[in-house]
Structure 1
Amino acid sequence: MFEQEKRRQGRPKSAEKRALILSAASKLFLKEGFTTTSMDRVAKESGVSKQTVYSHFSCKDSLFQAAITNKCKAYQLDSLQIDSASHNQTLEQYLTQVGSQFIRLLQDPDAVAVYRVIIAEAPNSSHVADLFHQAGPKASLDTLATAFKSYGKDKLSDAQSLQLAYDFCGLLKGEFHMLLLCGLATPMTEPQIAAHVSDVVAKIICLFEYYWQTSV
C-alpha cells in the first residue's frame, strides 16, 4: 500500500497549495535529483512558506513518495484505482485496462526522467531507489497480486499470485522499457500499445490458468 501522509492537527490543508507543492517538487526532483532538492527550494518554487510545505509533508522522503504516487494516480495506477478496476470485469478485460495504462505511464516523459534520476543516484543512495520502489512498483505489484488471488478464487497461493503480477509487469516492459530509457526507442502509438498488451495478456492468462488447474 502507498504510504499515507500523517496530518498534523489544525485547520484543513489547502488542496490547491498541496497541488502547487507537489508540482514544484516533481519538477525539482526531475531537474536536480532527490539529493540536491531541498524543502527550502520546494517552498520557494511553489510560492508557499516552508512551514506550509511541512504542514503537508513531514519530510522530503514523504514528499518524494507523494510525487510518485501522484504520477501513478494520473494514469489510474494507484492502488485504489487498480483494485476498483477489477470489479465486474473479466480477467482479460481487467488486465487489458491495467496493462494499457501501465505502458502509457512507462513512456510518459516524466516517468522516463524519474527512472533515469533513480538509476543515476542509486549507486550513492539506495535509499532513494527504495522510496521509489515502495511508492510505485511495489504498491502496484501488491495490488495486482491481490487481484490475481481474487480472480483465482483462492485456488492460487500468495506466491503464485505475486509471481503472476511480476510476470505481467515484466512482459509489459520487455526490451522496450530498457531501450526507451536509453533513448533507443520511441513511445508506442495507441495501436502498438493495444497489440502489445493483447499479446502479454494472452500469455499471462495461459499462465494463470496453468496455476489454477494445477493448484490443489
Structure 2
Amino acid sequence: MATTRKQGRPKSEEKYHLILHAASCLFLKEGFANTSMDTVAKASGVSKQTVYSHFEGKDALFKAAISSKCRSYQLDTQQLIDATSGSLSLLECLRKVGCQFVRLLQDPEAIAIFRVIIAEAVNSPHVATLFYQAGPEASLSTLSDVIEKFGEGSLSRDIAQQLAVDYCALLKGEYHTMMLCGIQSPLQDEAITAHVNSAAEKILLLFTHYTQQRN
C-alpha cells in the first residue's frame, strides 16, 4: 500500500528558518563580531555551503534576523500596508501599529539585541547601520507611507516622515530607555493601550493641523 507523505514546508524553507533561528540566538548570546558563518552552520546542523545558499553573508543574515523579529510583531512592510487596506481610520491604524511597536520594544530578545548594538556600535558602527536599516528605518518608511496615504494628497512626504518619527519617539518616551537600563518592568495590556492612545491622539492632532494647512 502506498504511503502518503506528510505535507509540510519544503526542506529548503525549513533549513532557512533553522539557520535564521540559530543565527538569532548566536547574535544575542555572542554578539555580531563573535558570530561567524561557521558557528551558525554548526549551531543549525547544516553545512557552511547551505548557510551561504540562503544568505550571501553575515550582514544579510543579521538583517534577516532583525526583519524576522519585526515581522513577528506585524511591523514589517507588508503587514503595515495591510493594516490600512481595510476600513481602519488613521487613529485606529496608529493604535494597532502602536500597540505592536510597544510590545516589540519590551520583548526580551529585542531588548537584548538593542544592548548588543549599543555595546558594539563604538567599535563597529557598521553593525548599528545594519540594525537601523533592517528595523527602525524600514518600519518608519512604511509608516510614513501609511500616514501620507491617509493625507490623500494634502500631506507632503517630508511631513508624513516627520509624523512617523514623532510617533515612534512618543511611543518610546523615557520608558524605552528605562527598559534598556533594566529599571522598568514590561507594561501590561491596559497600560500599553493607555500609553498608545495618548501618543496616537497627539499625532492625529498634528496630522489634522498639517492637512488643514494645505486645504
Would you say same fold, with TM above 0.5?
A: yes
Paired with 2:159 and 2:49, the residues of 1 have a C-alpha distance of 46
Q: What is the CA distance between 1:86 and its match in structure 2? A: 1.0
Question: Quick one: which amino acid aligns to residue 30 of structure 2?
Answer: E
Question: Quick one: which amino acid aligns to residue 145 of structure 2?
Answer: T
Paired with 2:11 and 2:53, the residues of 1 have a C-alpha distance of 8
Paired with 1:127 and 1:13, the residues of 2 have a C-alpha distance of 33
**Aligned position for 2:158:** 159
**Aligned position for 2:3:** none
**Aligned position for 2:210:** 211
1:142-193 deviation line (CA, Å, top 9, x unaligned): 0011011100001111110000000000000000000000001010000000
What's the secondary structure of 1:100's corresponding residue? Answer: helix
Identity %: 57
What's the secondary structure of 1:165's corresponding residue? Answer: helix
**Aligned position for 1:6:** none
**Aligned position for 2:32:** 34
Question: Quick one: which amino acid aligns to residue 57 of structure 2?
Answer: C
Question: Quick one: which amino acid aligns to residue 60 of structure 1?
Answer: K
**Aligned position for 1:18:** 16
**Aligned position for 2:174:** 175
The reply to whether residue 99 of structure 1 matches residue 102 of structure 2 is no
Question: Quick one: which amino acid aligns to residue 16 of structure 1?
Answer: E
Q: Based on CA coordinates, which of the two structures has the bigger radius of gyration?
A: 2
Structure 1 residue ranges, 4+ long, deviating more than 3 angstroms after superposition: none
CA contact 1:13–1:56 (8 Å) conserved in 2: no
1:28-63 deviation line (CA, Å, top 9, x unaligned): 000110011000000000000000000000000000
What's the secondary structure of 1:188's corresponding residue? Answer: coil
When normalised by structure 1's length, the TM-score is 0.93
1:63-119 deviation line (CA, Å, top 9, x unaligned): 000000000111111011011101121001101100000000010000000000000
Q: What is the CA distance between 1:13 and its match in structure 2? A: 6.7
The reply to whether residue 75 of structure 1 matches residue 73 of structure 2 is yes
**Aligned position for 2:54:** 56
Unaligned runs of 5+ in 2: 1-9
Paired with 1:107 and 1:68, the residues of 2 have a C-alpha distance of 15
What's the secondary structure of 2:155's corresponding residue? Answer: coil
Cα RMSD after superposing both structures: 0.9
**Aligned position for 1:129:** 128
CA contact 1:25–1:63 (8 Å) conserved in 2: yes
**Aligned position for 1:3:** none
Give the number of equivalent residue pairs: 205
What's the secondary structure of 2:187's corresponding residue? Answer: coil
Paired with 2:165 and 2:11, the residues of 1 have a C-alpha distance of 37
When normalised by structure 2's length, the TM-score is 0.94
What's the secondary structure of 1:35's corresponding residue? Answer: coil
